[in-house]
Structure 1
Amino acid sequence: MNETTNAAGAAGPDREPLQGEPAPDTSMAKLAEELATTKDRLLRSLAEQENARELARRQREDAVRYAASAFARDLLATADNLERAIASAPEDLRSEPAVAPLIAGVEATRRALLDAFAKHGLHRLDPIGEPFDPHRHQASFEVADSQYEPGAVAQVIQPGYMHHERLLRPALVGVSKHAAPPSAPRET
């Protein structure tokens, strides 16, 4: 038997490759390249899976945190109506025995509703005097009011609400503008 051939007839390190068999250096380079490509694909797949898990976790947390948003938005009209009911009672009748307990009950109901809102991450926006912010306020009109800087909220028609850090409803406001100077009489 030849020294460079083993018992099965396989080529040893000193032998020429058989016909159709790649050279040892070429096949090692090709295998290393395939291994690097496969490793890169595997790392990319693992990164994509981790990103998908992180996205799903964040979406799940947001779904739990903001699950009550639609329900709370529906209750805002109730809070507004309770405030209107309190405001509609004439001051001179509030002390009468028939009206006082009714007003006290409506005020207690309003406080309980606002406490429940606060417990679940809802808070009211009463932006009087704050600079107008189009992301949190909806301007309904401009008013000349020397008490506030131009561009500041001068009146609140309807309060806004935030649910955690998301806007649930913008505050409906009137914005202060420069007072118009008195007009000079026209000469004709």
Structure 2
Amino acid sequence: MQENQNPQAEEVLEPVATATEEAGVDCAERLVQLEAELADVKEQFLRAKAETENQRRRAAEDVAKAQKFAIERFASELVSVKDSLEMALLDQSGKFDNLKLGVDLTLKQLLAAFEKSQISEINPIGDKLDPHRHQAISTEESDAEANTVVRVMQKGYLLADRVLRPAMVVVAKAKS
């Protein structure tokens, strides 16, 4: 074998080899560091995903409870109305005025329960027929303008601004 005859080449190659070895060690350290960061990010992602799923599940449970118990407040108001009606039926005094007074007070309780629950009457006498709020069941000749409500056969009701039950009405038609 022949020995390297160029001592200058050995001087140049030795630092390059040392730098390459040091770079390999730095790369290995950097790789270990990046793998640790990746594991940390994966763990943070899984925790965030789990938290999101928990929030979604809790929100779904809250919606289900709200739907199930939405009528609870109104129902509790109606219980006192039922109690008053039962008391009126138990009255054996035979006095019509007492019965009428009791029924009147019960109606006031019911109206208060309606008001608390945003239930309001539709009383359209004199209004133009609105097919979204009124149900015309017949017509009658009248001095009023055609398609104007002249009588209410059955009151309608709104829940907030939504029609709960349309009013059944009689509308005017032109005299012949």
TM-score, L = length of structure 1: 0.47
User: Based on CA coordinates, which of the two structures has the bigger radius of gyration?
Assistant: 2
TM-score, L = length of structure 2: 0.49
